[in-house]
Amino acid sequence: MFKLDLPRLERAGTLEISAEIPADDPLWEGSDLGLRGPLQVQGTASLAGSGEVLVKANIRGELEQECRRCLKAVLSPVDLDVLLVFGATDAEWGDDGEIRPLDPEATELNVGEAVREELILNTAPYVLCDENCRGLCPRCGVDRNAESCECTLEEPDPRWDALRGLKTE
Ligand SMILES: [Zn+2]
Ligand SMILES: [Zn+2]
């Protein structure tokens, strides 16, 4: 968990943020992000005049995803700059800005949750090991980047499927 001590921030005005969220932190549960090693969060938190909390941070880490064609592991670095704004949700912040809710009575702010959201938003759901990845043979499963197989790779004409369907009915 990665939380900000709000009374401390109020006293100081600005706080340095330096956090490391382990890959096995419950924060990542159900996210499918495939973090390899901890995620580093470095930045500052500050108070805006109107009571909003601004968190400006750089997020770094490494993800291990699967190539959608050949299922090989693909490592992708994470290097993301985020600006998170927390405040009363009826406040206005630009046109397309997004304010995350901040309970005025709260003494801590769960920054980890927002970091998780940003990371998911900015992570490609599908990756390729290479633009030209040839994938696995759909018939025999060989990795067509590494070897070839005897299968005919022509896709069956879908119109024949329709005819076949008619025959068996
Ligand atoms: Zn691949
Ligand atoms: Zn094959």
110 and 30 fall within a common domain: yes
Residue 93 lies in a domain: yes
Task: Give 162 Cα–ligand 2 centroid separation in angstroms.
Answer: 25
94 and 139 fall within a common domain: no
Task: Give 150 Cα–ligand 2 centroid separation in angstroms.
Answer: 6
pLDDT by residue (tens digit) across 126-143? Answer: 899 999 999 999 999 999
Confidence of residue 75 (pLDDT cuts 50, 70, 90): very high
In this structure, which residues have their CB less than 5 angstroms from ion ligand 1?
67, 69-70, 129, 133
pLDDT by residue (tens digit) across 13-63? Answer: 999 999 999 999 999 998 888 999 999 999 999 998 778 999 999 999 999
Residue 126 lies in a domain: no
Q: Domain limits at 151?
A: 134-169
Distance of CA 40 to the CA centre of its chain: 14
- pTM of the predicted model as reported, rounded to 2 decimal places: 0.76
User: How many structural domains compose the chain?
Assistant: 2
157 and 114 fall within a common domain: no
20 and 77 fall within a common domain: yes
Tokens matching residue 134: 């040839």
- Using CA atoms, how far apart are residues 21 and 18, in angstroms rounded to an integer? 10
* Secondary structure class of 106 (helix, strand, coil): coil
Residue 28: DSSP 8-state: G
Does 95 have pLDDT greater than 50? Answer: no
